[in-house]
Structure 1
Amino acid sequence: MLDSIGTILPQSLKFLLSQLSKEVQAELEEIRVREERPLEVCFAGRYAFISEQGLLVQDEQKAYKPGRSDCLGLLEMLTNHSLYTFEEQLKRGFITIAGGHRVGLAGRTILENGKVKQIRDVSSFNIRIARAVTGVGKPILPFLFDPKALSIHHSLVLSPPQQGKTTLIRDLARMISNGEWGHGQAGIRGKGVKVGVIDERSELAACVKGIPRFDLGPRTDVMDGCPKAEGMMMMIRSLSPEVLVVDEIGRPEDADAIHEAMHAGIRVLATAHAGSLDDARRRPVLKELIAEGMFARFVVLGRRSAREAPFQIFDAAGQSVHAAFAARMESS
């Protein structure tokens, strides 16, 4: 893990993190750096502070507290010593680094015409570790498969932040591109289809100079660093995808582009922040899409433990599809 993010860390923080056990390092999910407040990590679904000796502790009084020099050093290395170059990302509150790792930022905002122009005096950083988990989509994809189309149903993955939405759709994109529909004994077979990924935050594919560093399958094209709505339309016009994959929808323009894709005969796999299907219905844009019956499948990810990621899958009417699938499996 430190090999992939070590280049952005000041030496003081890099040393402390290097003292963690290999097991903890391998399971790191977040590193929270807050100026003059305890250094915190999340690993395997658990949280702990790090002491000045690099030990995991629960007592915040024993934790290392990053100073101004730590935060300035981290920001300088994040932006390659050029804040101006990263002005657009800073305005949106995050910077994505090589490997697909996203660093969230908080501090004092500068407004212009009522909108955030930039963030100054950055004092909080959330380094979110991106990693591919091959096979995580295997138990879910059969529920999304449309045997008539030899593709997927229009599907929306829902969960609160940090419950694995991006990791899941990354693996689903790979499997769809490969044609790994699963459960051949149940009659679910298909070929790989053309997948278009709109990777606005450079997390799904972790492209370097336009080339994905995560495995998204052999028939996948990636629009990297492009706003979701615009990217979807560009894909539709020029790359003839059969499935579009897009992360974290929620704006009106996202809904407009999804309408265009679906009416063009393209299947859509998207994610959104919501704790449940009912929560999604309370979000204005999602409410409209759900009411119109645009999605035939909803995957709701539960609060995961260290080793498990529970999920539920519903159809357009909000009915669970687990029972029907289980019955089909038993009769095959």
Structure 2
Amino acid sequence: MKSIIAFLPKSIAAQITDLPSRIKDEMEEIRIRINRPLEVSVRGNPHYLPYIARAEDAEQFLNNLSNHSFYTLEEELKRGYITIEGGHRIGLAGKVILEHGEVKGIRQIASFNIRIARQKIGLANHLIDELYDHNWCHTMIIGPPQSGKTTLLRDLARIISTGVPEKGIPALKVGIVDERSEIAGSVHGVPQLQFGPRVDVLDACPKAEGMMMLIRSMSPDVLIVDEIGREEDSAAIQEAIHAGITLVMTTHGHSFDEIKKRPILQPILQSKIFDTYIELQRKEVPGSVSRILDGDGNQQKKRKAGVY
């Protein structure tokens, strides 16, 4: 939280600092909206603080983020978010500026959503035996918002790039296409979160283009991609598979049956690219697995440990 508080206006920083430790430890988001109460999200539930955000707070927050040079945020404003040290992502909303029908930036910013990046080391340990059989499986993680898809994906990237010596699993080259700077939380191209020694990150790059760039330039064994869903992503995924690269990625949805209905995902699902589908459910613990399905969409037999 120190890196977040350092950027906040003093009046808002004081409100967050004074929160009980148990709230700060479990906080997922901080929302600042001009002329409305501060909101913090804990385990998906909103809590309102006794402070009304002012226009001066928004101005001071932006000045802190840009080091008093709004021009330095030009590219971030086109994307609608800023990533700060620690991998925390700040979403923006306000008046959108268009140029030739394309988004040029956001001005008169009235809302900020600070998504707190929390790394859960070891979160994916219980899935190793499910996802590794002489090689890592092509895996799709399915889950609703705030179910821990990215947190789980991040830990899988760490495990794959570190290897698991006690199980005879070698450390592999991992390429992460981090379109929204959310998986690795890179700042100036450098990942802010903990990974193994064999990770290369392509930050702030569209997924389809990024997958092809990494294949050509970094020869990864495994590609990690968050939130697929565009037609271009589907084509790039199939090209990566043909190049002999293992894919681990996420998509929004509550179940395998739900995502089967999406036209963009149908070519991928019909070609049975993926060996394993992991369904997550939204619970207090991020990355809570409800079901693990095989490549045909059939539920795998429950393990004796009863993890899912």
TM-score by length of 1: 0.85
1:289 aligned to 2:268? Answer: yes
CA distance in 2 between counterparts of 1:297 and 1:11 reads 47
- Displacement of 1:18 after TM fit? 0.7
Worse-matched range after superposition: 163-172 or 86-95: 86-95
Deviations 1:181-209 (A, max 9, x none): 88x5xxxx422221111222222223344
Aligned match of 2:74: 87
- Displacement of 1:144 after TM fit? 1.7
CA distance in 2 between counterparts of 1:249 and 1:181 reads 31
CA distance in 1 between counterparts of 2:286 and 2:45 reads 11
Deviations 1:264-295 (A, max 9, x none): 00000011112221222233322221122121
2:171 aligned counterpart, secondary structure: coil
- Displacement of 1:104 after TM fit? 1.0
1:48 aligned to 2:47? Answer: yes
The count of aligned residue pairs is 306
| 1:297–1:239 Cα change, 3 Å | same
Aligned match of 1:176: 160
Whether contact under 8 Å (2:281, 2:287) holds in the other structure is no
CA distance in 2 between counterparts of 1:306 and 1:203 reads 19
1:159 aligned to 2:143? Answer: yes
Aligned match of 1:129: 116
Aligned match of 1:206: 185
CA distance in 1 between counterparts of 2:173 and 2:263 reads 31
Aligned match of 2:128: 141
| 1:287–1:10 Cα change, 3 Å | same
| 1:181–1:254 Cα change, 3 Å | farther
CA distance in 1 between counterparts of 2:273 and 2:165 reads 22
1:77 aligned counterpart, secondary structure: helix
Aligned match of 2:204: 225
Aligned match of 1:36: 35
Residue number among 192, 217, 222 corresponding to 1:243 in the alignment: 222
CA distance in 2 between counterparts of 1:154 and 1:308 reads 18
1:195 aligned to 2:174? Answer: yes
CA distance in 2 between counterparts of 1:248 and 1:308 reads 15
Aligned match of 1:97: 84
| 1:310–1:266 Cα change, 3 Å | closer
- Displacement of 1:307 after TM fit? 7.5
2:3 aligned counterpart, secondary structure: helix
Unaligned 5+ runs, structure 1: 52-63
Whether contact under 8 Å (1:46, 1:306) holds in the other structure is no
CA distance in 2 between counterparts of 1:29 and 1:181 reads 34
Whether contact under 8 Å (1:194, 1:243) holds in the other structure is yes
CA distance in 2 between counterparts of 1:208 and 1:45 reads 27
1:285 aligned counterpart, secondary structure: coil
2:125 aligned counterpart, secondary structure: coil
1:81 aligned counterpart, secondary structure: coil
Identity %: 47
| 1:81–1:273 Cα change, 3 Å | farther
Whether contact under 8 Å (1:304, 1:310) holds in the other structure is no
CA distance in 2 between counterparts of 1:198 and 1:181 reads 26
2:58 aligned counterpart, secondary structure: helix
| 1:124–1:289 Cα change, 3 Å | same
Listed as ranges, the matches of 1:7-86 within 5 Å are 7-51=6-50, 64-86=51-73
CA distance in 2 between counterparts of 1:23 and 1:228 reads 36
Aligned match of 1:59: none
CA distance in 2 between counterparts of 1:281 and 1:114 reads 33
Worse-matched range after superposition: 129-138 or 64-73: 64-73
Unaligned 5+ runs, structure 2: none
AA in 2 matched with 1:89? E
| 1:278–1:5 Cα change, 3 Å | same
| 1:181–1:225 Cα change, 3 Å | farther
CA distance in 1 between counterparts of 2:72 and 2:287 reads 40
CA distance in 2 between counterparts of 1:315 and 1:82 reads 51
- Displacement of 1:40 after TM fit? 0.7
